């Protein structure tokens, strides 16, 4: 969606308000508490804010949260910080935060669909309040970047991290695989600062530097059976196509392929996907804007903004979110080695679950209006979200949203993830509203974006919850309003 200069100016004005409250607290010498979400966008957002605060000489603490609920809100209220900043979270829980943090200084830098009115004393920077689409046009890290830039123009070098966050939230999910809306301005800042280069090409990870079969195997979204995460099979696939992986004894990278070889590769992957019963419209997923972080070492996963976001997701989902945030804030060496190892584990965990789901058709159960994946007892709830994302982007022809759930370990609750397609959104689907309304019926909590949303509900209610979601999707697609 196109965004007007006025809309960007309005967002900037809010960011300036947030920055001036933050500056007041820095000048006071207060300890500022920052809470951010653990996914790639949340880690980028928290890292951007952390870096900006560090540069401003602030005392602060960054804490990464898996979600917001009563328990988390109570804990944050007890901390009684002079200033609490939420990045990539908060707007969907304004009622709860308003109750728990009454009369406190709170800044919310978020892009989730806001609910209810803004509580007294809160400052919120959120694209939705200015008619900007927070799902596609700017991410949580983009909003954090706006506030960082309002704090100090020098923070323009952090724009490239907001590009990483936006890609982590799949804001390039359009035909050209290009960041648009407010993200376009952020990309411009990142390029202007000299930290980012943008080209159009194949989107496989390590396009410039890695052997082709490794680049193919590292790309798991879309998930290509027998290629994603499988270097040996990838190599065999290339050889079969007559694409030479080496020239003069040196591995070739994707950038070394001729135009014809690239075409052969894409069309063969498309055929391969169709033969596996998946969508073959691969040019949509595998060709687009490549965002290169020019100051990162070429061989590291940080060089490509998309791969950087996968690394962050890996740390966040494998219980090492602090590592991801440290990398965003500039730590390399040991941190990077550890995180790089984590990507391998993350990829193989996801691949294991995707295989498990696609092995038997009944594991992707079709109801009237939704598909359901019952991961209870098998899928680790911590990687449910990326598994659900990859399923929905790979199975584009599904035509119904996917709802997946898994048990939260040690609790009587399940974690729910839901994903829809752009087509369904155009037909009126809003999963954020559905997750919020349905979870609240069962004393759970939920929300998010139109195309991707989540919830937590008691395990005993999960069947009823799914029934209700099935009905609500049907209603929404028939044009009826669900929720506020």
Binding site for ligand C5P (CB under 6 A): 37, 67, 92, 112, 385, 417, 445-449, 452-456
Please tell me whether residue 289 binds Zn ion under the rule CB under 5 A: no
- Residue 454 interacts, among Zn ion, ligand C5P, none and using kind-specific CB cut-offs from 5 to 8 Å, with ligand C5P
Please say which residue, 101 or 212, places its beta carbon nearer to ligand C5P. 101
Q: Cβ of residue 34: shortest distance to Zn ion, in angstroms?
A: 15
Residues in the chain: 484
Judged by CB under 5 A, the residue of 14, 65, 88, 461 near Zn ion is 88
Q: Which residue is nearest to Zn ion (CB)?
A: 41
Least Å from the CB of residue 211 to ligand C5P: 32
Can residue 316 be called a binding residue for Zn ion (CB under 5 A)? no
Residue at token pair 């020239």: 247
CB of 152 to ligand C5P, least distance (A): 28
Task: Indicate which single residue of 105, 133, 137, 169 sits in contact with Zn ion (rule: CB under 5 A).
Answer: 169
Which pair of structure tokens corresponds to residue 387? 């598994």
- Output the smallest distance, CB 111 to Zn ion, in A: 6
- In degrees to the nearest 10, what's the CA dihedral of 437, 439, 443, 444? -130
Number of residues that bind Zn ion (CB under 5 A): 5
Q: How many CB atoms lie within 10 A of CB 481?
A: 10
Q: Which of residues 114-143 bind Zn ion (CB under 5 A)?
A: 139-140
Minimum CB distance to ligand C5P, residue 201 (Å): 28
As measured in angstroms, the least distance from the Cβ of 166 to ligand C5P is 13
Query: What is the 3 state secondary structure string of 77-145?
Result: HHHCCCEEEEECCCHHHHHHHHHHCCCCEEEEECCCCCCCCCCCCEEEECHHHHCCCCCCCCCHHHHHH
CB of 444 to ligand C5P, least distance (A): 8
Q: Which is nearer to Zn ion, 140 or 206 (CB)?
A: 140
CA dist 199 and 461 (Å) reads 48
Cβ-based nearer residue to ligand C5P, 324 or 447: 447
Residue 45 CB, shortest distance to ligand C5P, in Å, is 11
The listed partner (ligand C5P, Zn ion, none) that binds 431, CB under 5 to 8 Å by sort, is none
Phi, psi of 297 (to 5 degrees): -60, 135
Tell me which stretch binds Zn ion (CB under 5 A): 69-77, 83-91, 313-321, 382-390: 83-91
Helices (H), 199-304: 212-218, 231-240, 259-275, 282-286
With CB under 5 A as the contact rule, which of the stretches 154-162, 164-172, 196-204, 388-396 interacts with Zn ion? 164-172
Q: Residue 67 binds which one of Zn ion, ligand C5P, none, with CB within 5 to 8 A depending on kind?
A: ligand C5P
Which of 126/417 has CB closer to ligand C5P? 417
Q: Which does 140 bind (CB under 5 to 8 A by kind): Zn ion, ligand C5P, none?
A: Zn ion
Q: Nearest distance from residue 36's CB to ligand C5P, in Å?
A: 11
Does residue 380 belong to the site contacting Zn ion (CB under 5 A)? Answer: no
| Residue at token pair 């005993």 | 460
The Cα–Cα gap between 86 and 317 comes to: 19
**CA 106/CA 484 separation, integer angstroms:** 24
14 binds, among ligand C5P, Zn ion, none (CB under 5 to 8 A by kind): none
Is the separation of the CB atoms in 474 and 456 below 8 Å? Answer: no
Q: Using CB under 5 A, which of the segments 36-44, 121-129, 147-155, 156-164 binds Zn ion?
A: 36-44
What distance in Å separates the CA atoms of residue 232 and residue 129, rounded to the nearest whole number?
49
Distance CA 172, CA 162 (A): 13
Please give the span between the terminal C-alpha atoms of the chain, in angstroms, as a whole number. 23
Element containing residue 344 per DSSP (H, E): helix 333-359
Q: Tell me the closest approach of the beta carbon of residue 251 to ligand C5P, in angstroms.
A: 35
Q: Which is nearer to Zn ion, 41 or 307 (CB)?
A: 41
Residue 6, token pair as written in the block = 């006025």
Does position 41 interact with Zn ion (CB under 5 A)? The reply is yes
Q: Tokens standing for 120?
A: 């007294």
Q: Which single residue is written with the structure tokens 């007890």?
A: 78
**Looking at beta carbons only, is 14 or 261 nearer to Zn ion?**
14
CB 134 within 8 A of CB 126: yes
Return the residue matching tokens 């939920």: 446
Residue 440 main-chain phi, psi, to 5 deg: -65, -25
Select from 17, 35, 31 the least CA-distant residue to 93: 35
Residues that bind Zn ion (CB under 5 A): 41, 88, 139-140, 169
């Amino acid at each position: 969606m196109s965004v007007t200069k006025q809309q960007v100016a309005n967002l900037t004005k809010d960011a300036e308000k947030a920055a001036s409250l933050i500056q007041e607290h820095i000048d006071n010498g207060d300890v500022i508490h920052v809470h951010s979400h653990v996914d790639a966008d949340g880690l980028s957002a928290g890292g951007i804010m952390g870096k900006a605060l560090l540069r401003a000489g602030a005392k602060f603490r960054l804490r990464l949260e898996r979600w917001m609920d009563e328990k988390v809100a109570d804990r944050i209220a007890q901390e009684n910080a002079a200033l609490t900043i939420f990045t990539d979270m908060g707007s969907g829980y304004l009622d709860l935060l308003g109750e728990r943090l009454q009369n406190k200084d709170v800044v919310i830098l978020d892009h989730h669909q806001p609910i209810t009115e803004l509580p007294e004393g809160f400052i919120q920077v959120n694209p939705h309040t200015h008619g900007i689409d927070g799902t596609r046009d700017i991410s949580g890290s983009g909003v954090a970047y706006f506030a960082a830039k309002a704090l100090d123009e020098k923070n323009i070098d952090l724009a490239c991290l907001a590009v990483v966050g936006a890609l982590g939230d799949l804001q390039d999910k359009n035909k050209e695989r290009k960041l648009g809306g407010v993200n376009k301005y952020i990309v411009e800042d990142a390029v202007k600062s000299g930290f980012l280069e943008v080209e159009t090409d194949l989107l496989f990870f390590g396009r410039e530097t890695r052997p082709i079969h490794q680049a193919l195997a590292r790309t798991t979204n879309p998930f290509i059976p027998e290629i994603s995460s499988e270097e040996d099979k990838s190599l065999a696939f290339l050889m079969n196509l007559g694409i030479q992986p080496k020239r003069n004894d040196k591995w070739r990278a994707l950038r070394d392929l001729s135009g014809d070889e690239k075409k052969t590769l894409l069309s063969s992957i498309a055929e391969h996907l169709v033969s596996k019963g998946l969508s073959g419209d691969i040019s949509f997923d595998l060709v687009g804007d490549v965002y290169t972080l020019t100051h990162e070492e070429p061989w590291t996963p940080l060089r490509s903004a998309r791969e950087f976001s996968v690394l962050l997701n890996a740390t966040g989902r494998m219980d090492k979110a602090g590592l991801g945030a440290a990398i965003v804030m500039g730590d390399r060496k040991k941190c990077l080695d550890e995180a790089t190892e984590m990507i391998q584990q993350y990829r193989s965990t996801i691949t294991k679950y995707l295989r498990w789901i696609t092995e038997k058709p009944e594991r992707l159960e079709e109801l009237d209006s939704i598909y359901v994946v019952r991961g209870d007892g098998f899928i680790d709830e911590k990687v449910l979200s990326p598994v659900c994302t990859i399923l929905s982007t790979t199975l584009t022809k599904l035509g119904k949203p996917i709802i997946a759930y898994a048990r939260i370990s040690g609790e009587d609750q399940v974690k729910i993830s839901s994903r829809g397609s752009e087509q369904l959104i155009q037909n009126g689907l809003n999963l954020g509203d559905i997750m919020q309304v349905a979870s609240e019926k069962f004393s759970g909590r939920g929300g998010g974006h139109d195309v991707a949303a989540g919830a937590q509900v008691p395990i005993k209610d999960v069947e009823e919850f799914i029934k209700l979601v099935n009905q609500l999707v049907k209603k929404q697609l028939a044009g009826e309003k669900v929720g506020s």
